[in-house]
Amino acid sequence: NAGVTQTPKFQVLKTGQSMTLQCAQDMNHEYMSWYRQDPGMGLRLIHYSVGAGITDQGEVPNGYNVSRSTTEDFPLRLLSAAPSQTSVYFCASSRTSGSHSYEQYFGPGTRLTVT
Amino acid sequence: EDKVVQSPLSLVVHEGDTVTLNCSYEVTNFRSLLWYKQEKKAPTFLFMLTSSGIEKKSGRLSSILDKKELFSILNITATQTGDSAIYLCAVDIRVQGAQKLVFGQGTRLTINP
């Protein structure tokens, strides 16, 4: 199993450009999520999905869109990049089962710089 | 507002020392508390705690949860240079049945030889 994979590893954008960060998992996990990590702030939830066709906003959703057309893939779209979106982005996935908690598995991250 | 606070934010010790990392939380709808270790890249899972007073242990690492006082500690004994990392604490809160993790800022642990 490859686990959770993310592409690209690094990206530099100019202000106003758009792009899509790719995330895929091969563990048949229903739950997938996107986080951003900034210095001194831990990880903050951007968007999450509990299954194909179902997405919802996290703590910091502004400027980002997601969709979930398959169980495996959960892309994150930046509509019009801003310098404030310079960050490291992590995708994660986990099992879901009612109120039971499961560990989330993280991808290797994408380091994004917006100039 | 759901909040998770870790302390200290940074810690430097010598190899062989014992360290205690702290995580306190104020959240609605607590389900579990998780510890992750982050070296260069992705966070990797260490422990999940759901019940007070039950210690989870893995080698030199152990953790315990106090749901009355709303905190958890992560202990590392006989530290090694390979323990140098950022340690993240996260609380699973339930929002309309869906898992959401609220993370603390992390503790950067440096082990000097």
Residue B34 pLDDT: 96
Give the pLDDT of residue A101.
82
Q: Is B18 strand, coil or helix?
A: coil
pLDDT in tens, B13-37: 999 999 999 999 999 889 999 999 9
Of A110, A69, A72, residue with least CA distance to A91: A110
Q: Which two tokens stand for residue B107?
A: 């503790």
Give the per-residue pLDDT at B95.
78
Q: A8 preceded by cis ω (within 30°)?
A: yes
- Residue B103 at interface with chain A, using a CB cutoff of 8 Å: yes
To the nearest whole angstrom, how far is the Cα of A10 from the nearest Cα of chain B? Answer: 13
Q: Does A107 touch chain B (CB under 8 A)?
A: yes
Binned at pLDDT 50, 70 and 90, residue A46 comes out as very high
What residues in B contact A94, CB-CB < 8 Å?
A: 99
Distances (CA, A) of B106 to B6, B54, B85, B86: 6, 23, 10, 6
Q: Does A43 touch chain B (CB under 8 A)?
A: yes
Cβ pair A29, A51 in contact under 8 A? no
End-to-end CA distance of chain B: 41
Cα of A101 to nearest chain B Cα, Å: 7
% pLDDT > 90, chain A: 89
Which residues from chain B sit within 8 angstroms of residue A98, using beta carbons?
97
Chain A contact for B97 (CB, 8 A cutoff): yes
pLDDT per position as a tens digit, A69-86 = 999 999 999 999 999 999
For residues A77 and B72, give the distance between their C-alpha atoms in angstroms, rounded to a whole number.
36
pLDDT of amino acid B65: 96
- Reported as a single tens digit per residue, the pLDDT across B41-85 is 899 999 999 988 889 999 999 999 999 999 999 999 999 999 999
**Average pLDDT of span A39-57:** 92
Hey, what amino acid is at A115? T
pLDDT of A40: 80
For residues A39 and A51, give the distance between their C-alpha atoms in angstroms, rounded to a whole number.
31
The confidence score (pLDDT) of residue B51 equals 84
